Amino acid sequence: MLALFSYFASRTDTGPVTSARHFVFDTYQQLLPRPRLSAPVTIVAVDETSLAALGQWPWPRDKIASLLQAINHHTPAAIGVDILFAEPDRLSANRIADGAGGVPPAVRDWLAARPSNDTLLARALKDMPLVLGVAGMESASLAGPLTPVILQGEPAVPRLRPYAGLMRSLPEIDAAAMGHGLLSADPDLDGIVRRTQLLARHRDTPIPALEMEMLRLAVGANWISLLGGAEGAQSVCVGELNLPVQPNGTIWIHYGPHDPARFVSASAVLDGSANPEMLKSKLVLVGVTGLGLIDQPATWTAEIPV
């Protein structure tokens, strides 16, 4: 089975072997899901419990700032934020002042003078080992900071998955983060996500994935390396970690079963009831899981027939 899986995983995405490769890959995943040997990653989830306790989403960004500060208090190895802050926070005091008709001028002036929630979030991010997510787009966009990728071996950047632009958080917030990583993943033609991009590209600039940027901050590296060969990308390296990849910079995902022990409710982090050991020295991913708030990508766990 393993030899058959390895053969199909090495084939291209075109031709008659694609469906057979996916079937073998999915069956292999179901029969031998990834065992959990250690617990380096914790997911802080804006879940149903958090929404019931703290109000509907989106939360004001000063509350998100408080959440990230509470996580950072427990000295995680790195924090990854699977949330985009692409538009100004409409709940900022200075924006409320714009529509505050019928209130005393002194109150309106006080609200207008308050820093925006976006500014408060940007201030909170300073000096945190934190990676903000960026999303790949098929239309052009403004540039922003990205971690340098050192190129080694044969030219491999042209083989990476291209994006015409990137959706980023507001410049004030974006500039405050230590790292920026790609959130996007392409499902296969049947709608199943089987691979993720460790590196993609914006024009001729490599874009590291969110998880690679988190690893970079965790080990204290200043860059990520891409080793190229005759067919394209061969491996992506950060610190002493060397990850083999497909020629286009993707890696096949060996999924494990859902494990509630990986998750901590955002409300528990904010009220101080979360176990500190779930955050200390961990790779902490912050995201929204509340029912109905996000589109869940389909994986083998939901799609493979038994």
- 3-state SS track over the chain: CHHHHHHHHCCCCCCCHHHHHHHHHHHHHHHCCCCCCCCCEEEEEECHHHHHHHCCCCCCHHHHHHHHHHHHCCCCCEEEECCCCCCCCCCCHHHHHHCCCCCCHHHHHHHHHCCCHHHHHHHHHCCCCEEEEEEEECCCCCCCCCCCEEEEECCCHHHCCEECEEECCCHHHHCCCCEEEECCCCCCCCCECCEEECEEEECCEEEEEHHHHHHHHHHCCCCEEEEEECCEEEEEEECCEEEECCCCCEEECCCCCCCHHHEEEHHHHHHCCCCHHHCCCCEEEEEECCCCCCCCCECHHHHCCC
Q: What is the pLDDT of residue 28?
A: 85
Q: What is the pLDDT of residue 131?
A: 98
Q: What is the pLDDT of residue 182?
A: 97
Q: What is the pLDDT of residue 285?
A: 98
On the 0-12 / 13-18 / 19+ scale of CB atoms within 10 A, 226 is buried
Q: What is the token pair recorded at 225?
A: 């390396």
Tokens 């065992």 — which residue? 35
Domain boundaries, the chain: 1-32, 33-303
pLDDT, averaged in runs of 10, over the chain (306 residues)? 50 64 86 89 97 95 98 98 95 77 76 90 97 93 88 96 95 97 90 93 94 97 97 96 96 90 97 98 95 56 39
Q: What is the pLDDT of residue 23?
A: 86
Q: What is the pLDDT of residue 30?
A: 86
Q: How far is CA 291 from the centre of its chain?
A: 19
Q: What is the pLDDT of residue 198?
A: 97
